[in-house]
Amino acid sequence: DTGVSQNPRHKITKRGQNVTFRCDPISEHNRLYWYRQTLGQGPEFLTYFQNEAQLEKSRLLSDRFSAERPKGSFSTLEIQRTEQGDSAMYLCASSLEGQWDTEAFFGQGTRLTVV
């Protein structure tokens, strides 16, 4: 399977704990995006990388959130001191720079539940 891969698929954590999610994009894609989706809503943009550079961060990304893409391949999203409001589906997508029509392909997501 050469699609976008996310791990874990599900994560249940206690409030105040730190969690880290991983995303492996489609191998030739140099752009990687993180989105968050709450129940009944469309995904909301969090941040994106071109290669290893983080080019944009949403105001939704508080200082408890940090994302990295150290070698321009996989990415991690860490949430520190989780709160119940962080419960959501975290989606990763990738695309290829230079594609003028911006086709982004999504992974299956990581569902986070903070109890």
Report the interface residues with other proteins, using CB under 8 A.
4, 6, 31, 33, 35, 40-45, 48, 50, 56, 91, 93, 95, 97-109, 111
Query: Minimum CB separation from other proteins for residue 8, in Å?
Result: 13
- Closer by beta carbon to other proteins, 36 or else 86: 36
Q: Give me the least distance between CB of 1 and other proteins, in Å please.
A: 13
Q: Which is nearer to other proteins, 55 or 81 (CB)?
A: 55
Measured from the CB atom, the residue of 35 and 65 that comes closer to other proteins is 35
Residue 66 one-letter amino acid = S
Which residue's CB is nearer to other proteins, number 78 or number 103? Answer: 103
Q: What is the nearest approach in angstroms of other proteins to the Cβ of residue 17?
A: 23
3-state secondary structure the chain: CCCCEEECCEEEECCCCCEEEEEECCCCCCEEEEEEECCCCCCEEEEEEECCEEEEECCCCCCCEEEECCCCCCEEEEECCCCHHHCEEEEEEEECCCCCCCCCEECCCEEEEEC
